[in-house]
Structure formats: C-alpha cells, structure tokens
Amino acid sequence: MSSKLIKNLQRLGFTENEAKIYYALVCLGKARASEIFVASGVPRAKVYGILRGMEKKGYVQILEGDPILFCCTRPEEMIARIRADFMRSLKETSCGLNALSLEDKITIS
C-alpha cells in the first residue's frame, strides 16, 4: 500500500481508514467487506461503518445481494467531486471575506 497515496487522499479530506479502504477498493474492484478488511488493514469491526459513511459521501457504492459487495466510485469521479466542492467553498469564502472587507470600509468611514 502506497503511504504517499494514502497521505494524499488524507489531504483531500479522507480519514486514514477511508483512504486505506478507497485504495483497497481501487485495487480490488468489487469486494466483500472481509476482502476489504484484509487488503486495507483497517480493523474488521470498523470496516462496515466506514464503508457506510463513504457511501453517504459518494465515494463507495454498496451492491446489495448475497454476499453484499462494495465498489468505489471511479477515481476521476471522486477527484472531480472533490474539486467541485473545493472550488465552491473557495468561491463562497472569497465572497464572504470580500463582503466583510466592504462592511469594514463602510463602518470606518
């Protein structure tokens, strides 16, 4: 497992365990939770909860069946989603800070 890639995923907002699971799923494709546990090194008791949380964030898809399988969204989609969210936050922050700056100038005058 590439520690540099795990660190980069963490810089993008993943927890360490989310990064390990995403990495494992990219390598495995579709997999059962037990396979993800082995490939990722994330404690077995935490894998299901982390996978559910990642599903809510749009990073993992749960394929209901017997057995239940998990797969990650394509890396390009994940990166595009993070980029769009970051750009939206950056724009909102910029507008908010600029508005504060204008308010200060009006108040001081």
Q: Whole-prediction pTM value?
A: 0.81
Arithmetic mean of pLDDT over the chain: 90
Q: Within a 13 Å sphere around the CA of 109, how many CA atoms are in the beta-carbon half? A: 6
Q: Where are the domains of the chain?
A: 1-73, 74-109
pLDDT confidence tier of residue 101, bands split at 50, 70 and 90: confident
Give per-residue pLDDT as tens, 52-93.
Answer: 999 999 999 999 889 999 999 999 999 999 999 999 999 999
- 23-32: which pairs have CB atoms within 8 A and are 24 or more residues apart? 25/60, 25/70, 25/71, 25/72, 26/72, 26/75, 29/71, 30/63, 30/69, 30/70, 30/71, 31/69, 31/70, 31/71, 32/67, 32/68, 32/69, 32/70
Give the Cα separation of 54 and 62 in Å (integer): 10
Give per-residue pLDDT as tens, 21-57.
Answer: 999 999 999 999 999 999 999 999 999 999 999 999 9
Give the Cα separation of 60 and 28 in Å (integer): 13
Architecture of domain 1-73: Orthogonal Bundle (1.10)
